[in-house]
Structure 1
Amino acid sequence: MKLLLVQTTCASKDEAKKIARVLIEKGLAACIQMSKVESYYMWKNEFCDDEEILLSIKTKKENFKKIKSKIKELHSYDVPEIIGLDISDVSKEYKKFIEKNC
């Protein structure tokens, strides 16, 4: 079974909590961590400097399409960051934790 780390950023802690709760309760993610980040990017030809909440979502690769769909449904951004990164190295115990909780 392949594991995945999905990243998305949110405009607020409340939005991040809502997305995290839904993904966990629907069994799409085993664990989600939230971190404050500063993001720099261009949007509509303007330089942006925003504080955001980064979600690090641990899941099974097979859940990616459903997670992507759920994030788009719940997210306030027109174009939310949704990035899936393959997890190539993980302890056996943590892998079992993810498999059991997704």
Structure 2
Amino acid sequence: MAASNPDVVVVTTTHDDESKARALATAAVRERLAACAQLYPVRSVYRWDGEVRESAEWRVDLKTRAGLTARLTAFITEHHDYDTPEVVAVPVVSGSGDYLAWVAAETGP
């Protein structure tokens, strides 16, 4: 059954290397800043230093509570080697009630 829970967000970042993306995801889950993380290979097109660039990256989607967004953002920034890592939080407007409760239960205080 679908439920609404504005306290759950998906925080997205990217990394240029699969092992670095996996290490970041694992560390965030270990620290209970996220209940889980999913990694996807993606192609990114972006403007950097006045040029349009394209590169292969690994997208990391981290499921967490909205109240942990600032701590997770700081954690990603501290453990990332990009000058300006992507950190975007998107609210979950609806989902499985049991899953949303699990995300809340598996993330830290």
TM range (shorter): over 0.9
Q: Determine helix, strand or coil for the equivalent of 2:57.
A: strand
1:3 to 8, 17, 27: 8
In structure 2, distance between residues paired with 1:45 and 1:97: 43
Task: Report the 3-state secondary structure (helix = DSSP H, G, I; strand = E; otherwise coil) of the residue aligned with 2:26.
Answer: helix
Tell me which amino acid in the other structure corresponds to 2:85: P
Question: What is the aligned partner in structure 1 of residue 101 from structure 2?
Answer: 96
Give TM-score scaled by structure 2 length: 0.90
CA distance in 1: counterparts of 2:61 and 2:30, whole angstroms = 16
**Offset at 1:5?**
0.5
Q: Which runs of 4+ in 1 moved over 4 A?
A: none
2: CA distance, partners of 1:40 / 1:88: 28
Q: CA RMSD in A?
A: 0.9
Give the C-alpha shift of residue 24 in structure 1: 0.4
SS at 2:78 equivalent: helix
Q: Secondary structure at the match of 2:95?
A: coil
Contact 1:11 1:76 in 2 (8 A): no
TM normalised by structure 1 equals 0.96
Asked whether 1:23 is paired with 2:28, we answer yes
- Counterpart of 2:51 (choices 43, 46, 49) is 46
User: Which residue number in structure 2 is paired with residue 61 of structure 1?
Assistant: 66
Aligned length: 102
Paired with 2:34 and 2:70, the residues of 1 have a C-alpha distance of 12
Q: CA deviation at 1:46?
A: 1.4
Cα drift, residue 45 of structure 1: 1.1
Which 5+ residue runs of structure 2 have no aligned equivalent?
none
- Aligned mates of 2:61, 2:36 — CA distance in 1: 8
**Matches of 2:75 and 2:19 in 1, distance apart?**
16
